[in-house]
Amino acid sequence: MRVLIVDRTAEGQAAVARRIESFSQSDVEMLDLRVKLVLDKDYQSQIHDADVLVLGSGLNDRGAQLARQALNQMPWLHIIMFVTDEAYSGGAFRAAHSAGVRKVLPEESSPLDLLQELVGIYAEFRREGRVREARIVVVTHAKGGTGATSICAALAEVCSVYRKRTLLWDLDVETRDLCRSLTVNGAEAKVVSSWVNGTRNISRDSICDALIPVSQDVSVLMPPDSMAEAMDLVCHTDGMTICQRLLELARVMHDVILIDTGGRIGPATGGLMRAADEVVVVIDDTVLGLTALDLFLSYVKALVVGPERISFVVNGYSGSLLAVPQIEAELEPVHHLGSRPWRLPPVPVDPKASLWPGSGRTLYSMGQKATRATLEEIAAELNLISRGETPGDTRKSGHWWERLLPGGERDSGMVPES
């Protein structure tokens, strides 16, 4: 959020800027504040780059005039104006409000008053889609071997093709299937460990240090490099705070966040499910998969408080022994989920695509045309991409295997022809 501070003197500008400097680093990063100071005589050359205009108390009566001029140029601009205590008690705020000022604050007001107003503006920007706010999807499963990691990685590649800035978060702390499948490994995991053991704060900079890019648009966040710290992250209640803080910052840095929980339910993963926009439960088409899902749902429904954010993906590894309608018919009388969780198409059997781990590709780019179309449909239903949206230029977005297999040994084009 771009903030332009205007006053008649550098001292007046600095007085306002000090209020923002008193905010915690966490608040500054969550609001993505970028502050610029300018004199009143020069403000018109800078105003087009601002989201919020803050007028200092040194402007006196000229403040309302500047506010009116600014709103004539940019009607969507939010304006906060400081006035002297004398002017505030004298009713100058009435003139300011009539000029379109959002909030008038007395000179001696607390920095928290300014912070509260900026938080309110940012919340409006989020509702209006004016700031980046990632869509969060937690991918989990009721039992192992359903292909949840395959679906998670494939959806990330779909997002990459559509030029969505995507975070792939591997929270399978025991087997690390996602990282191993993408052959991702590095010292970046030590940064995650430092968040858990408290030797480093979670900030935008430290998050950037922890991410491992696999394409221009997709990065992977590994589990901690120590198993003890990995278990603390997902099993200890302190892990909830760490994950919440990480999610708050990562959400304004990405368009999509895909979290592979490895099926583990604990304080951290439970908190992430509550915070997610969608919880995708990947199931197979076997009888054991059906009975496991029956038990799993009793926990998941309580965590996400109802079925409105739950979706099922049936991954047909065994050749569609049970069709989606059959699975739905078995579970619906007990769990009363409604039709929404069952709207996603099943992923077809694709033996060649199932060999993706270690190839530098995913189920998406290795799959047949029907597999790719299904994964794109799932991504669209989950609102990760927009229907009718044109894929980005894959030559610019880069192939996943250009990093994983140096030299670009594979065929050109991210999605092969079938």
| Confidence category of residue 263, pLDDT binned at 50, 70, 90 | confident
Q: Which domains, from first to last, does the chain contain? A: 2-128 (3.40.50.2300), 135-404 (3.40.50.300)
Mean pLDDT of 159-168: 95
pLDDT by residue (tens digit) across 46-96? 888 899 999 999 998 888 889 999 999 899 999 999 988 887 776 677 788
Q: Contact, 79 vs 71, CB < 8 A? A: yes
Q: What is the pLDDT of residue 133?
A: 85
| Confidence category of residue 396, pLDDT binned at 50, 70, 90 | very low
Q: How far is CA 74 from CA 13, 107, 164, in A?
A: 22, 26, 29
Q: Which segments within 305-372 are labelled E, that is strand?
A: 310-314
pLDDT by residue (tens digit) across 333-380? 988 889 999 999 999 889 899 899 999 899 999 999 999 999 999 999
Residues 6+ apart with CB under 8 A from 391: 161, 162, 163
Q: Which of 28, 326, 269, 237 is nearest to 141 (CA)?
A: 269
DSSP string, 141-167: ESSTTS-HHHHHHHHHHHHHHTT--EE
Q: Contact, 63 vs 83, CB < 8 A? A: yes
CA dist., res. 170 & res. 193, Å (int) = 14
Q: What is the pLDDT of residue 255?
A: 94
Q: What is the pLDDT of residue 405?
A: 39
pLDDT by residue (tens digit) across 195-251? 999 999 999 999 999 999 999 999 999 999 999 999 999 988 999 999 999 998 999
Percent of the chain with pLDDT over 70: 91
Check whether 116 has a pLDDT greater than 50.
yes
Check whether 281 has a pLDDT greater than 50.
yes
Q: What is the pLDDT of residue 96?
A: 82
Q: Which of 405, 378, 416, 54 is nearest to 46 (CA)?
A: 54
Check whether 155 has a pLDDT greater than 90.
yes
Mean pLDDT of 177-202: 94
Q: What is the pLDDT of residue 114?
A: 95
| Confidence category of residue 412, pLDDT binned at 50, 70, 90 | very low
